[in-house]
Structure 1
């Protein structure tokens, strides 16, 4: 079993912390998902202590294992991509071909002992294997079964495949993301991360926890239908409410805020800074800092509605006053004056930031073959039952043999027969075993 270590902390202390039972300890999750939205949900459950059994296709595995470079160099002929590593820790990998009747029977038996099942196949795609929600809830009425799809189990788009980029466009998100018309680089832009996938995974996890409480009260499992499009529409938040209340269709504003001014990026002599004034007092403090008491005293800008109405005039004046500053000096002065703001970090800069180090947001994990990697930590801090980092993202099929023996009672002869028939697969020798073979 792999173990983790907190950066800057003793390895023994980290190992002890990761042996504590998490808040979801004792729950068993059967993970039939791949790519991102659903694996993100199951990784959260695993971080919080649940046992997650990830079922993958023999010889191929999760699609994202090949979504590189970069790949984790571990000496194997087929290393895993970084994309796969971001969403698959705290899981055990079983390679089972459930398109074969024998494989489907194995997964059905695993579902009978599971608390939660998560899948992201197209609507109706698992029914032919007897792995759909109605079939498995008959076998296990306490099962909580989460289906994540592009458009949900109902509606005119239900049969369509859904992808993050597609949903970012269809949902309206891209219509408010990007530079406005008339500016250089104008046009809709997707968010630089697959946010529709990630938000859906988060909503799915929240729904699972709600269903667990319902089961605690009633003993009933249930089917959860979670769609990328629904999740992203729900997350239009203030932009959608601006339209529902005000009747005006929101437009692209670049880095500006639709409701708050000043709340955007400004250019200094050497870099950009973010200015995020959320109150009239913060705006006045910014004006004093910039030596622009005239802006603070101007009745047009005294309150946020006025600043919003005359934002173009105000932002031109602020840009003129900010331009001579060096970014670091302005941000230091803003912090001293109580004006919220910050830099636009690159990813390497934020991962090296002292705040991230203080919050222990980078964790080091070690695979069972000794290969080390760093991962981004689970962000919420539970004072009594924290998240843990017990298992590094597994190699394809590394746990098939052990799990089938422990969970289903299969003996070595039965497992070997399934391997020979191509129904299951087990991982090849770990790196240290291969090296031992070469030196023998």
Structure 2
């Protein structure tokens, strides 16, 4: 979506103006202590939907390539719509400044190792002592306590420990990670959801809460039916490659110019599928009459389908199957994703104008709320870009700020 009212029509201009004056989370102040990806994913929901997000980072160390990292595609996409302050939380003055901010905040979000926040004295109990209404959100690798509580966790480790890698990839090829940091992203999304619920509850009770999740919990939650398959039926799922684990035929099939996805596992859709490809005889085969039978004979049925689909190009089959109500679709590279007309219609690439990196596109929020714009309001800030304004808002004078800067606190 364009980032300036001069670029857009009357309706969009009104939405843009509204986005500058009112969004669902206006009035909520969030202190962002997060690192890496899981925590910033949670914070991004608050930032995109109007919260006053204050990112708190340590002053840059000598020799660090701060600009190179901050101005890269990853950091810019994660940290838009925020303000930034630098604070050395290990220094007495830095800790005091954080507590002044926390006393007026609504939410604190962090994803440090479980013990680090206690060592820095910025834990839930520390903040709650100065602000009983605080909603404090934490992501850890494996939980805030328990035998793995002290461990550091990263996405791929949790993918392995949480079972995902054992069911991803082709049978016999060994474990395979998913191509995105799915644990980080899921944990961040869940933490944002949990904190929103805690804020809603606070409106009724006046009491803040500590909201926690972990990469391990998020991964197990995302196993979903594969987890319940074990818990309720005692079945340990294995790798199924591009096939659906239980519903066949669903998977990737060759065409004369590439591959497509087809999902025709239900009896009704399978009937339409057989009729569309002019193989009604498949409907009379005893071993293919039921979904369970087709699943047992997946290799044979997939091979038979592939022999037919490989004779014509992808677009032929997609048009044919769409016309007959059979779920299907191309397999796009990422550049093809953003060239897709539906993706363009959804506005999933959105503009951000930055004095630091210029006019760029970042990934839009996947949430739409009627009456509100998803336009990026503010560029990703440089470290400490708003330090003076933020700290003056909690009572610091110019002389105090100069002294803190001289001491390396900000």
Same fold (TM over 0.5): yes
- Give 1:18 deviation, angstroms: 2.6
Task: Confirm or deny that 1:173 pairs with 2:164.
Answer: yes
- CA distance in 2 between counterparts of 1:394 and 1:12 reads 25
Show the counterpart of 1:50: 51
1:231-288 Cα deviation digits (max 9, x unpaired) = 1111100111112222121000101111211110011121010001252221112112
1:206 alignment partner, SS class: helix
- CA distance in 2 between counterparts of 1:99 and 1:309 reads 61
Identify the match of residue 408 of structure 1 among 385, 394, 402: 394
- CA distance in 2 between counterparts of 1:165 and 1:7 reads 44
Task: Confirm or deny that 1:328 pairs with 2:315.
Answer: yes
* CA 55–210 in structure 1, closer or farther in 2 if over 3 Å, else same: same
Show the counterpart of 2:194: 207
Structure 1 residue runs of 5 or longer lacking an equivalent are 67-75, 425-440
1:256 alignment partner, SS class: coil
Show the counterpart of 1:25: 26
Show the counterpart of 1:428: none
1:371-399 Cα deviation digits (max 9, x unpaired) = 21111111121114454521121111111
1:280-320 Cα deviation digits (max 9, x unpaired) = 22111211222211112323222312211222221121111
Show the counterpart of 2:248: 261
- Give 1:203 deviation, angstroms: 0.7
Task: Confirm or deny that 1:41 pairs with 2:42.
Answer: yes
* CA 60–328 in structure 1, closer or farther in 2 if over 3 Å, else same: farther
- CA distance in 1 between counterparts of 2:181 and 2:390 reads 32
- CA distance in 2 between counterparts of 1:147 and 1:204 reads 7
- CA distance in 1 between counterparts of 2:316 and 2:14 reads 39
1:235 alignment partner, SS class: helix
The equivalences for 1:172-251 within 5 A come to 172-181=163-172, 186-251=173-238
- Give 1:343 deviation, angstroms: 0.7
Task: Confirm or deny that 1:318 pairs with 2:305.
Answer: yes
Runs of 4+ in 1 over 6 A off after TM superposition: none
Show the counterpart of 1:344: 331
Show the counterpart of 1:69: none
The equivalences for 1:28-427 within 5 A come to 28-59=29-60, 80-181=71-172, 186-369=173-356, 371-405=358-392, 407-424=393-410
**Does the CA contact (< 8 Å) of 2:350 and 2:375 recur in 1?**
no
- CA distance in 1 between counterparts of 2:178 and 2:334 reads 15
RMSD of aligned residue pairs (Cα, Å): 2.2
**Does the CA contact (< 8 Å) of 1:108 and 1:130 recur in 2?**
no
**Does the CA contact (< 8 Å) of 1:91 and 1:394 recur in 2?**
yes
- Give 1:140 deviation, angstroms: 0.4
Q: Would you say how many aligned residue pairs link Structure 1 and Structure 2? A: 406
- CA distance in 2 between counterparts of 1:129 and 1:194 reads 28
Name the stretch that deviates more: 314-323 or 342-351.
314-323
**Does the CA contact (< 8 Å) of 2:19 and 2:372 recur in 1?**
no
1:55 alignment partner, SS class: strand
* CA 50–266 in structure 1, closer or farther in 2 if over 3 Å, else same: same
- CA distance in 1 between counterparts of 2:185 and 2:69 reads 27
2:116 alignment partner, SS class: coil
- CA distance in 2 between counterparts of 1:420 and 1:235 reads 48
**Does the CA contact (< 8 Å) of 2:33 and 2:111 recur in 1?**
yes
- Give 1:179 deviation, angstroms: 0.8
* CA 210–7 in structure 1, closer or farther in 2 if over 3 Å, else same: farther
**Does the CA contact (< 8 Å) of 1:178 and 1:189 recur in 2?**
yes
1:48-107 Cα deviation digits (max 9, x unpaired) = 11110000111159x9x86xxxxxxxxx77762211122111111111111111111111
- CA distance in 2 between counterparts of 1:331 and 1:92 reads 46
Structure 2 residue runs of 5 or longer lacking an equivalent are none
- Give 1:169 deviation, angstroms: 0.5
Show the counterpart of 1:4: 3
- CA distance in 2 between counterparts of 1:316 and 1:201 reads 40
1:408 alignment partner, SS class: coil
**Does the CA contact (< 8 Å) of 1:49 and 1:387 recur in 2?**
no
- Give 1:145 deviation, angstroms: 0.5
Name the stretch that deviates more: 352-361 or 295-304.
295-304
- Give 1:148 deviation, angstroms: 0.8
- CA distance in 2 between counterparts of 1:387 and 1:230 reads 30
- Give 1:4 deviation, angstroms: 2.6
1:381 alignment partner, SS class: coil
Given the two structures, how large is their TM-score scaled by the length of structure 1? 0.88
